[in-house]
Every structure is written in structure tokens, then in C-alpha cells.
Amino acid sequence: MTNIRTRMRARRPGIVRSLREAVDPARLLLVAKTALAVGLAWLIAPHMPGVTDEYPYYAPLGALVSMYPTLMGSVRSGLQTLLGLATGIGLAAIVVLTVGPTWWTIPAVVGIGVLVSGTGWFGVGREYVPMAALFVLIIGGQNADDYSIGYLVQTAVGVVVGLLVNLVIAPAPLTLAAAAKVDAFRTQLSEHLHDIGSAVSESWPPEHQQWADDAASLADTTAELRTALSEADDSRRGNPRALGRRGETRHIHAELARLDRIAHLIRDISDEIADTIWDRPGALVLDAALPEPLSNACHAVAEVIAQEDPLSPEDHRVRGEAARAVRLLLETVDDRTIDARRSMGPGVLAAMHLRRILILSGHRDEDEDEDEDESDDGAG
């Protein structure tokens, strides 16, 4: 029972985050637009000419599959779905015009549809290749031609309705959301370096290893942020709410690249210290004089990482303190190397990486600042 409660407590932050994302304003707008598009498609479908009015239920389906958070995502999804449907209908037509649907031709054409859908040509519409072929042969039956026309045309009607709704009520670019996630990553890196500083200053060896386990998650976070930035770039394409240079993401990409390099350095520090603490292969002894200056340097550099504006007076003060802390660490490493006549392995690596982090966290191109100012003006 205790283990169950512990697991529930561990999962609670993830559950809360998932619920928060579900009721995010952008998500709620997508919900409303999807409902509107499906309703309009169902209203229009019965008025389509010819035999297509006999299959109105495919129009809401087309509207549903075309609704994505971004305009370009909607266009891609809609076109890929129609391409998948047309291909599946074409495969079914070959069967209808030759041997006809039988106990072996139906599974055969479905198998071919699954095979063709694996080419990567159809994107999200790949599932509709075998599905359309199956529906035409089984549901269409003797009226396969009319059913095929109705299926494809009504789905296209729904896709067009969905695209129009998404264009008229254009979604906001996802630039600000991506920027917020990058800012959160900066905070995560700062906190992780603080954790390392705390770990090396506590009783030796440290009693907990959460800081070491968390280092592995930094690479996953970077991958998630790259995906979020890709979606932000996609959200600007063809979006009337992102005309001109409004919501540009170049400065966010530069910031993420900088933080990614810092994350690699922090992971190296974390791995090296963890090797030393738990005597892993390749571990080097950490001299008894190093934990205190190493801890101070980690905490000081972590404060620099947390600074959002590298040109502010506060950042100048924090950076000066961090530079002094790293210099003291280097001096201790040099002194102990001479006295002990052996390499101060973890201390040397940590000092080098902390200096590099200081350089990276303060580097910023002028054109990035200009881009950020303009994007902020556009967002306002």
C-alpha cells in the first residue's frame, strides 16, 4: 500500500501537467474550432450533388482529420489523408474491375495497402490506404463506384471546411510557448548544477543520487525542446497572425543551441563526479581539499545560468562572483597538483567546464537581441 502511495505521489506532477496542457487556451481554441468544423461539414454534406449526398458521414471525418494546431499541419494532414484515401480506393478499384472481392482478394489488397502505406509517402494518411480499400470492397460492394466517389468527395469537403475554419480563426504562433519552455530549461540547468554543488559539499560520499539520475534527462529535454521549436516554426508558415518578422524564432534557436552546449558540459561534470563518488570504471580520486571550492563554483555558475539578461547589472555582479569562485577552484587544483604530485582529475574537468559555461552563458550576438526585441513588439 505504501509503495502504491509513493508511486502515485511520484506521478502526481505529471498528471497535473497533463491536465494543465489539456485545458491550455490554445488547446481549448482547437477544441472549439474542431467542433465548429465538424458541425459545418455535417451541415453542408447532404447538399452535395449526385450520389455523394448519400455518404454525408465522411464529411465530418474529413473535418476532424484536418484540424491541427497549426495551419501547415492542417494542410499536410488534409492532403495526406486524401492521398491515402485515393490510393486505397485505387487499389480497391483494380480488384473490382478484375476478379472482384473474394475471400482472398480482400485480405490481399489490404496487405498491399499496408505495404504501400509503409513507404512514408502518406504521412498521417498512411492508415487510410488499407482502410479505404477495405471499406470500398466490403461496404461499397455492388455500388463500389458510387461509394468510392462519395467517400472521397465528402472527405474532401470536410477537409476544405476544416482548412477554412483554421484559416479564418487562425491559431496564434507557438513562439511564446516555445520560448517559455526554453526559459524553463535554463532554470532546470541552473537547478541541476546547484544540486551537484550541494552533493559534493555534503557528507562523503553523498547520501542521495537524484542529481546524478537527473543528468540523463537533460538530453531528453533538449530533444523535446527541438520538437517544440519545430512546431513553433511550423505554426508561423502561412499564418496571417505571423506576418513579417512577428514571432520569429531565430533567437530562440540560438538560445536553445547555447543551453544544449551548457547541458552537455553539466552532464560531463555530473558523470565525472558520480564516477568518483561511486568508484566507477575510469574514476579519478577527488582530493579532500576540492569539494568546498568545487561546490562554491558550481553554485556561483548556476546563478549565472539562471540570469535571463546577460547585459543587466545583476548579471554583471553574479558573473563576477562566479568568475572569482572558478578562479579559486583553479588555484586550489593547481596548488594540490603541485603538493600531491598527481592529477586532480575531477577538479580539472569541472573547472574547465565551469569556465566554458561562463563563456557560453554570456555570449550573445547583437542581431539576436534585435530579433528578440522585434518579436516582443510583434507579440505585444
Q: Which letter does DSSP use for residue 209 in this model? A: -
- How many C-beta atoms lie closer than 10 Å to residue 332's C-beta? 20
In this predicted structure, the answer to whether residue 204 has a pLDDT above a threshold of 70 is no
- How many C-beta atoms lie closer than 10 Å to residue 313's C-beta? 8
Q: Greater confidence, 87 or 307? A: 87
- What's residue 361's pLDDT? 83
- What's residue 376's pLDDT? 41
Q: Greater confidence, 253 or 311? A: 253
In this predicted structure, the answer to whether residue 185 has a pLDDT above a threshold of 80 is yes
- What's residue 41's pLDDT? 96
Q: For residue 57, give the nearest of 66, 67, 46, 48 by alpha carbon.
A: 46
The grid coordinates listed for 54 are 448519400
- What's residue 301's pLDDT? 93
Q: Phi then psi for 192, rounded to 5 degrees?
A: -65, -40
Helix (H), strand (E) at residue 99:
none
Q: For residue 329, give the nearest of 360, 366, 363, 287 by alpha carbon.
A: 287
Least confident of 52-66, 246-260, 333-347: 333-347
Q: With pLDDT > 90 as the criterion, what percentage of the chain qualifies?
A: 37
- What's residue 7's pLDDT? 56
pTM: 0.68
Determine contact, residues 28/127, Cβ cutoff 8 Å.
Answer: no
- What's residue 70's pLDDT? 85
Give all domains of the chain, ordered by start, each with its CATH number. 2-168 (no CATH), 176-379 (1.20.58)
Place of cell 559534493: 200
Please tell me the distance from the alpha carbon of residue 187 to that of residue 11, in angstroms, as a whole number. 21
Question: Under 8 Å CB-to-CB from 169, ≥6 apart: which residues?
Answer: 29, 33, 36
Q: Mind listing the pLDDT tens digit for each residue in 210-233?
A: 555 566 677 778 888 888 888 888
3-state class (DSSP) for residue 287: coil
- What's residue 368's pLDDT? 44
> How long, in residues, is the chain?
380
- What's residue 372's pLDDT? 42
Q: Mind listing the pLDDT tens digit for each residue in 20-49?
A: 767 777 788 899 999 999 999 999 999 998
3-state class (DSSP) for residue 64: helix
What is the average pLDDT value for the chain, to the nearest integer?
A: 82
Average pLDDT (11-16) is 60
Average pLDDT (91-109) is 92
In this predicted structure, the answer to whether residue 366 has a pLDDT above a threshold of 50 is no
- What's residue 363's pLDDT? 58
Please tell me the distance from the alpha carbon of residue 339 to that of residue 333, in angstroms, as a whole number. 10
- What's residue 369's pLDDT? 44
- What's residue 370's pLDDT? 44
Q: Mind listing the pLDDT tens digit for each residue in 293-313?
A: 888 999 999 999 988 777 778
- What's residue 39's pLDDT? 96
Determine contact, residues 69/174, Cβ cutoff 8 Å.
Answer: yes
Helix (H), strand (E) at residue 1:
none
Average pLDDT (181-188) is 90
Place of cell 490510393: 87
Q: For residue 296, give the nearest of 351, 336, 334 by alpha carbon.
A: 351
In this predicted structure, the answer to whether residue 327 has a pLDDT above a threshold of 60 is yes
- What's residue 114's pLDDT? 95
Q: Mind listing the pLDDT tens digit for each residue in 121-168?
A: 899 999 999 999 999 999 988 888 999 999 999 999 999 999 999 989
Distance of CA 142 to the CA centre of its chain: 47
Q: For residue 139, give the nearest of 187, 89, 98, 199 by alpha carbon.
A: 89
- What's residue 212's pLDDT? 57
Q: What angle do CA 347, 351, 357 make, to 5 degrees?
A: 145
- What's residue 136's pLDDT? 93
- What's residue 14's pLDDT? 58
In this predicted structure, the answer to whether residue 268 has a pLDDT above a threshold of 60 is yes
